[in-house]
Amino acid sequence: MNKIVDSISVFFPTYNEEGNIRNTVISARKVLEEISNNWEIIIINDGSTDNSLAISEELSKEDKRIRILSHQKNRGYGASLKSGFYNSKYPWICFTDSDGQFNFSEIKNFFSKQKQENADLVIGYYLGRKVSLFTIITSKIWEVIVFLFFGMKVKDTDCGFKLVSKKVIDSIDKLKSERGAFISSELLIKAKKKGFKIAQVGVRHYPRKKGKGTGRDIRVIMKSFIDLIKLWIKLNFSKK
């Protein structure tokens, strides 16, 4: 059977997901065996204090194509994405959340969209997000702010399901954001500035079955704003 992609790296940012990481990785592996000749899964353990690392190590022992990058201390979502991007070896890189709220088989739709539009990045947008109303509202406010500062207009900046060509990561200025949630916006802003084509595709979102999400801590929000302002200043100064 013809595969839809020759080679792909997939990584999962992981912080205290002992209840979800095994099923997430096993589900992704089944899909990758169907769609790709060469693949790797990277679990980015971001200083988990539960059994996430131990479970990840078991998965890695079971399959050499599954490997672990572990941060000794929790560094944040941005740091996890950077570790994934800069340690992926194949021409296409996909990342998605490790909490099981996406169906990884929808990666097929990402590649269909990529081929239709000859895109360098395909970013997901939620078809009904299974989170609190507060999270949805704050995400929409953030999107408006990013648009006002950078003119970045997409349906969803922060959806945690994206497909990115490795040439994008190798070409854009090195990503800086670590603790805050600015990392996804930073990636898109820098890719757009370099002239890479961004396509969008809808993805379904499912309720979290186990564990609790993070990311709405006031310190994380403030760090996101600081990172946004820093990049805005840098880009405006570089134009002069």
SS3 37: strand
SS3 10: strand
Which positions of the chain have pLDDT values less than 70? 1, 129-132, 135, 180, 209-218, 238-240
CA dihedral 45, 50, 56, 61 (to 10 degrees): 130
Which residues are bridge partners to 14 per DSSP? 45
Q: Dig out the tokens for 176 from the structure.
A: 């800086």
Predicted confidence at residue 64, as pLDDT, reads 96
Q: 46 and 14 in contact (C-beta within 8 Å)?
A: yes
| Rg of the chain on CA atoms, in Å | 17
Per the confidence metrics, is the pTM higher than 0.75?
A: yes
Q: 37 and 7 in contact (C-beta within 8 Å)?
A: yes
One-letter amino acid of 124 = G
Q: What is the pLDDT of residues 121-131, one digit of tens each?
A: 999 998 876 66
Q: 98 and 14 in contact (C-beta within 8 Å)?
A: yes
Contacts of 226 (CB under 8 A, 6+ apart): 180
Contacts of 204 (CB under 8 A, 6+ apart): 102, 103, 106, 127, 128
DSSP state, 181? S
Q: What is the pLDDT of residues 17-57, one digit of tens each?
A: 999 999 999 999 999 999 999 999 999 999 999 999 999 99
- Give the strand pairing for 5-14 and 198-203: unpaired
Matching residue, tokens 């169907």? 34
Predicted confidence at residue 132, as pLDDT, reads 64
Domains of the chain: 5-238 (3.90.550.10)
